[in-house]
Amino acid sequence: MNAKEWMRKEDMTTALDCHLGWMRKALGFAQRALEAQEVPVGCIIIYDDKIIANGGNEVNKTKNATRHAEIIAIEEVRTYCAEKKLSSKDVFKSSILYVTVEPCIMCAGALRQIEIPLVVYGCRNERFGGCGSIIDVSCDKAITSNIGPTFDAISGVLADDAVSLLKNFYKGENVNAPDSKRKVKKEQRS
């Protein structure tokens, strides 16, 4: 089933069941990121009812602050498409992305460029959120010519689980403290 069919789906209970099922998988990748001492965010991309890509945060590993779970997963779709000899443009257009935390402003911009139609996420991202928490990149029509079409977003799927992973990572620290993320990263690198 492709993403457009999803959105037209009349049986909302089944749709929700599916969202919950996929989000549990995404949470698994968030857990893995946590174990690798990365910010615990997990992401999967569903195409043709299968997981074709997954990602967890790899900011510390790559020393690149843009290596968020969504970016990693997008990268994997390209590899998948190369192997299967599919057009990644077509695949992205009929995929759904699940991510445990609201995509940040950067990732929301990235998701528009790959022309994904639907994004399902868990908890809000109060610090960097690009689907409404800080600004809403997902549906800003004024930038379409520059970075591609808007996408739909469903929020709040297993949000509590996503939050408790984040709390686990930041432990005693206030998740909303401006520089907590940086502090943690620095400690890990030293």
Partner 1 sequence: MEQPTVVLSDEYTRPVSIVDVFVANITNKKLTSAIVKTLAEIAPLENLQHLKRVKGSKDGPLQIVLCQPETDLSGGDKCKMHLDINKIEGLGKEYLVKVPAKPPVTRKQFEESLKYWPVNFHEDKEVAALMSGKYFKDAELEKIKLYMEMAVRLAEHGRVKNQLSIGAVIVDPSKDSVVAKAYDLRQSGYPLQHAVMVAIDLVAYSQGGGMWKLPEERVVQSCDAGLWYAKGFPSEECSKDRTEPYLCTGYDLYVTQEPCVMCSMALVHSRIGRVFYGSAQPAGALGSRYAIHYQPGLNHHFSVFKDCLSKVTDRLYTGS
The residues annotated with a catalytic role in the active site are 70
Which listed option, partner 1, Zn ion, none, makes contact with residue 188 (CB within 5 to 8 Å by class)?
A: none
Total residues contacting partner 1 (rule CB under 8 A)? 39
Pick one of 67, 68, 112, 181: the residue that binds Zn ion (CB under 5 A): 68
Residue 69 contacts partner 1 per CB under 8 A = no
Q: Angle at Cα 52 formed by Cα 66 and Cα 36, nearest 5°?
A: 45
Nearest CA to 115 among 95, 135, 140? 95
Nearer CB in complex with partner 1: 13/146: 146
Binding mask 28-67 for partner 1 (x = CB under 8 A): ------------------------------x--xxxxxxx
Nearer CB in complex with partner 1: 119/158: 119
> What residue type is 17 in one-letter code?
D
Count H helices, E strands: the chain?
A: 9, 5
Residue 174 contacts partner 1 per CB under 8 A = no
Sequence-distant (6+) residues with CB within 8 A of 39 are: 33, 57, 59, 166, 169, 181
Residues 96, 21 contacting (CB under 8 angstroms)? no
Nearest CA to 102 among 133, 60, 71, 78? 133
- Residue ranges that bind partner 1, judged by CB under 8 A: 58, 61-67, 71, 74-75, 78, 88, 104-110, 113-114, 127-128, 130, 134-135, 137, 140, 142-143, 145-148, 178-179, 182, 186
